Amino acid sequence: MPDLGNCDNWSHFGEFGQPVVDSLMFPTIAARRRSIAAGGAVMLLLIAGASSAVMACDICAIYPATEMQETRTGLRLGLAQQYSHFTTLQKDGDEIANPDDERLDSVITQFLLGYQVHPRVRLQMNVPVIFRDFRRVTATGVNDADENGLGDLSITGNVLVWSNVSEQSVVRLSVLGGLKFPTGNADRLKEEVPPDPNDVLNGQHFGPASDYGGGAHSGVQSGIHGHDLALGTGSFDPVFGGHLLVTWEHFYWATDIQYVVRTRGDFDYEYADELTAETVPGAYLLTDPEYTLGLGAALTTETKGKDNIDGTDLDDTGITSLYAGPVIQFTWGSSLSAELIADLPAIQNNTAVQLVPDFRIRGGLVWRF
**Pairwise pLDDT comparison (85 vs 67), residue with the higher score:** 85
Range from 12-21, 158-167, 334-343 carrying the lowest mean pLDDT: 12-21
**Pairwise pLDDT comparison (364 vs 211), residue with the higher score:** 364
Report the pLDDT averaged over residues 230-236.
96
> 213 pLDDT exceeds 80?
no
**Pairwise pLDDT comparison (66 vs 232), residue with the higher score:** 232
- The CA radius of gyration of the chain, in Å to the nearest whole number, is 21
**Main-chain phi, psi angles of 226, to 5 degrees:** -60, -35
Residue 202's pLDDT is: 45
Half-sphere exposure of 149 (CA within 13 A, CB side): 13
Nearest to 136 by CA among 323, 354, 359, 366: 354
- At 204, the pLDDT band (50, 70, 90 cuts) reads very low
User: 3-state SS string over the chain?
Assistant: CCCECCCEEECECCCCCCHHHHHHHCCCHHHHHHCHHHHCCCCCCECCCCCCCCCCCCCCCCCCCCCCCCCCCEEEEEEEEEEEEEEEEEECCEECCCCCCCEEEEEEEEEEEEEEEECCEEEEEEEEEEEEEEEEEECCEEEEEEEEEECCCEEEEEEEEEEEECCCEEEEEEEEEEEECCCCCCHHHHHHCCCCHHHCECCECCCCCCCCCCCCCCCCCCCCCHHHHCCCCCCCEEEEEEEEEEEECCEEEEEEEEEECCCCCHHHEECCCEEEEEEEEEEEEEEECCEEEEEEEEEEEEEECCCEECCEECHHHCEEEEEEEEEEEEEECCCEEEEEEEEEEEEEEECCEEEEEEEEEEEEEEEEC
Widest Cα–Cα separation across the chain: 73
CA–CA separation, 198 and 201 (whole Å): 7
CA–CA separation, 229 and 174 (whole Å): 33
Residue 310's pLDDT is: 87
- Percentage of residues of the chain with pLDDT beyond 90: 62
Q: Which amino acid is at 104?
A: L
> 40 pLDDT exceeds 90?
no
Residue 64's pLDDT is: 47
pTM: 0.80
CA–CA separation, 40 and 20 (whole Å): 8
CA–CA separation, 313 and 307 (whole Å): 6
Nearest to 9 by CA among 223, 316, 302: 302
CB 23 within 8 A of CB 45: no
Domains along the sequence of the chain with CATH: 19-368 (2.40.160.40)
C-alpha separations of 58 from 87, 113, 210, 247, 311 in Å: 16, 19, 23, 31, 24
> 268 pLDDT exceeds 90?
yes
Return mean pLDDT, the chain. Answer: 79
Residue 196's pLDDT is: 60
**Pairwise pLDDT comparison (61 vs 84), residue with the higher score:** 84
> 289 pLDDT exceeds 90?
no
**Main-chain phi, psi angles of 316, to 5 degrees:** -95, 35
- At 195, the pLDDT band (50, 70, 90 cuts) reads low
Q: What is the DSSP string of 316-338?
A: GG-EEEEEEEEEEEEEETTTEEE
